[in-house]
Amino acid sequence: MSKTLWIDGEGLLRTLDQTCLPFERREIVLDSEAVCQRAITTMQVRGAPLIGAVGAWGLAFALRDDPSDAALVAASGRLFAARPTAVNLRWALDRIVRRVEPLPVGQRALAARIEAQAICDEDVECNRRIGEHGAALLGALSERLAPGAVLNVLTHCNAGRIATLDHGTALAPIYLLNERGVPVHVWVDETRPRNQGAALTTWELAERGIAHTVVVDNAGGLLMRQGRVDAVIVGCDRVAANGDVANKIGTYLKALAARDCGLPFWVACPVSTIDPLCPDGDAIPIEERAGHEVSHVGGRLPDGTMGTVQIVPDGSAVANPGFDITPARLVTALITEQGVCEASAGGVAQVLTAGGGR
């Protein structure tokens, strides 16, 4: 199944449990608001576009059980609280609410289900177009290299197919270049503390047969200084109205290193990730996740079983901000389904207008 979220032959909504990857491919059934909320909170599903889609389905399930006005408000609030930084969640929930609010309660559940499926279908096409625009940028870089030389791209966290409904955002251009026979190699940041790069991005790239190398998060600056990186491309969870970008913790440092080394730093994002109500990065809420993610590391043990080990002494305080803010001045451009634009208030307004607003 190519899509990350799909309806099986029995009519059940399924997705991959991303907490089991890369060592086990386990599917989970999403069949209620509570299950969708838990999947988002525990990061069984993650990535801003996929979170939005699952949130939309969660609200549709809630309306199936109780389509009243009170239930609509309550369920939307509960689902929104699951992950506060990724604006796609609020965008998708608001879209469902706008669709069903004017309807008689008896028509709401079906309308919400149809709208949730539309959000999923539109995301596939959106990410395909992001891939086309991004491939044009990366392809132009590749053409400047010596004949047969490999294009080296660094990415942080996971912004591939499993973070969306299909294709991905930051990885979509890389997939297209690979399909077109352009030699490309990806430097994959491990992305502590949950290691989405080491576990998920590598899993995706290996499936496509794309050359890649995992590095610790702090290796990127050295690789850039050594001339071993041609470009940096990342996804994001929210873009403020002025072009500031919220993405996985550690992104800001990559942008600083790229600027110092004169390398392009591109952010691939659907227009739905732009939040015109958020004036700048300082207004974006930064999710503080559980300290256990930092104090403990999970993985496959020598006997093949999965386990967790503690790496921080008892009693040590732990902080775990899930995201950071990259100022617009460090972003070379935003790559959206509407095209490539400047990371600025003007650029954001331009793509919002082209996309018909949010």
Assess whether 230 carries a catalytic annotation.
Answer: no
Torsions phi, psi of 163, nearest 5? -90, -5
The catalytically annotated residue of 237, 244, 275, 324 is 237
Using alpha carbons, list the distances in angstroms from residue 256 to 232, 325, 329: 11, 12, 10
Contact 243, 348 (CB under 8 A): yes
**Residues with catalytic function:** 237
